[in-house]
């Protein structure tokens, strides 16, 4: 295995070391390859939970497998900038073109109604030059979900008027214990006679 690599490397070095003559001139000069244009496609999905909003930012960065990417993700809520995230994506053949960035927003104290969530995703070069940019927004109809809203609401009976007695579930256990004790006592007396 090691010998084969050494042979291949030596052959490659020999091919490069040969001097060009009129007989073996390169047929066409290789034009410098153009750098592929980068593009970003964003898709937003959301789900409301109790006092929080789960936001899934799915984005497609083309090409992403063989190029290092430094992304800046800006999150806006109703026109106000909430936060900026820096995402570094290393080149890897294992990565797919579609990536996801999940965010959970704490919605405590946010009023019910329509809210606009905007995501701006840009790839900037070290000099500040923007290579690719995309933005997407979603209008969320938010209504706070509370624990109390999920319970089945049944009114409680506070007072019963009349000459009869209704046994409540809490009292039933006590009556069952008394009845069981009476049966055991009756069985014990019956065995003695």
Tell me what pLDDT residue 159 has: 60
- What percentage of the chain carries pLDDT values higher than 70? 67
Least confident of 80-89, 104-113, 166-175: 166-175
Residue 116 pLDDT level (bands cut at 50, 70, 90): very high
Rounded-to-integer distance, Cα 88 and Cα 91, Å: 10
Mean of per-residue pLDDT scores for the chain: 77
* β-strand pairing of 52-62 with 39-49: antiparallel
Residue-wise pLDDT tens digits, 50-72? 778 888 888 887 766 567 778 88
Residue 1 pLDDT level (bands cut at 50, 70, 90): low
Higher pLDDT, 131 or 114: 114
CB 78 within 8 A of CB 116: yes
Rounded-to-integer distance, Cα 111 and Cα 132, Å: 35
**Helix, strand, coil percentages in the chain from 3-state DSSP, rounded to 5:** 25, 40, 40
Furthest-apart CA pair in the chain: how many Å? Answer: 131
The sheet carrying 113-124 orders its strands as 80-89, 69-77, 113-124, 130-142
Residue-wise pLDDT tens digits, 122-168? 887 777 788 888 899 999 888 876 666 666 566 656 665 656 666 67
**Element (DSSP H or E) covering residue 173:** helix 169-192
**Element (DSSP H or E) covering residue 53:** strand 52-62
Top-confidence range, 10-19, 140-149, 174-183: 174-183
pTM assigned to the model: 0.55
Whether the pLDDT of residue 186 is over 70: the answer is yes
């Amino acid at each position: 295995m090691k010998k084969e690599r050494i042979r291949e490397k030596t052959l490659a070095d020999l091919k490069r070391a040969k001097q060009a003559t009129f007989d073996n001139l390169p047929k066409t000069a290789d034009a410098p390859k153009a750098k592929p244009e980068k593009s970003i496609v964003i898709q937003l999905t959301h789900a409301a939970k109790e006092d929080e909003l789960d936001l899934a930012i799915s984005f497609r960065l083309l090409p992403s497998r063989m190029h290092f990417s430094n992304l800046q993700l800006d999150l806006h809520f109703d026109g106000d900038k909430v936060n900026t995230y820096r995402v570094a994506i290393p080149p890897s053949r294992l990565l797919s073109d579609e990536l996801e960035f999940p965010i959970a927003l704490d919605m405590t104290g946010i009023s019910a109604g329509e809210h606009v969530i905007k995501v701006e995703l840009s790839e900037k070069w070290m000099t500040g030059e923007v290579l690719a940019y995309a933005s997407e927004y979603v209008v969320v109809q938010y209504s706070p979900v509370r624990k109390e809203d999920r319970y089945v609401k049944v009114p409680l009976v506070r007072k019963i008027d009349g000459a009869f007695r209704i046994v409540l579930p809490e009292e039933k256990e006590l009556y069952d214990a008394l009845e069981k004790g009476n049966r055991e006592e009756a069985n014990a007396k019956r065995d003695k006679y």
